[in-house]
Amino acid sequence: MISVTRLNGDEFIVNADMIEFVEETPDTVISLTTGKKIVVKEKKEEIIEKVIVYKRKIFNGFEYPSM
């Protein structure tokens, strides 16, 4: 989950696994796999970085089974 900010300043949480793509038009629009679109203040690079940090937190403690 990542925290993002609507244009009106309200912060909310988005499921990073539901993000299909992010574009700037010039506002940043997050498109979800559900078809919903969310306009946020963060730039696309910030969204990408937040997703990377989130994924690292999840997989950092993951232990791969030995073969």
Q: Give 5-19 pLDDT, tens digit per residue.
A: 999 999 999 999 999
Distance in angstroms (rounded) separating the CA atoms of residues 52 and 49: 5
Q: What is the pTM of this model?
A: 0.83
**Predicted pLDDT of residue 58:** 87
Please tell me whether residue 31 adopts helix, strand or coil conformation: strand
Per residue in 11-62, pLDDT (tens digit) is: 999 999 999 999 999 999 999 999 999 999 999 999 999 999 999 988 887 6
AA letter at 9: G
Instruction: Count Cβ atoms within 10 A of the Cβ of residue 43 and give its class: 0-12 exposed, 13-18 middle, 19 or more buried.
Output: middle
**Predicted pLDDT of residue 59:** 84
**Predicted pLDDT of residue 62:** 64
